[in-house]
Amino acid sequence: MNFDTELDASGLNCPLPILRTKKAMNEMSSGQVMKVMATDPGAVKDFEAFCKQTGSALLEQAQESDRFVFFIRKQ
């Protein structure tokens, strides 16, 4: 999937992956896509809730070995 920016939140525990994502998305334009990588298993539910709260679209989520990958389009 094509994306405009990437954030590696590997090794960070809740709520840091969400906080770093929110900060990075503030620098993005509406419609841009961010790829986020995280290792915290709680990130799956956290990013679903984050997207519902912010109106951003969770385009795809996957697990690659010990890492979770999310593609989020900013509203």
Q: Which residues are catalytic?
A: 14
| SS3 at position 69 | strand
Q: What is the C-alpha separation between 28 and 13, in angstroms, rounded? A: 23
Three-state DSSP state, 27: coil
DSSP for residue 56: -
SS3 string, 8-19, reads EECCCCCCHHHH
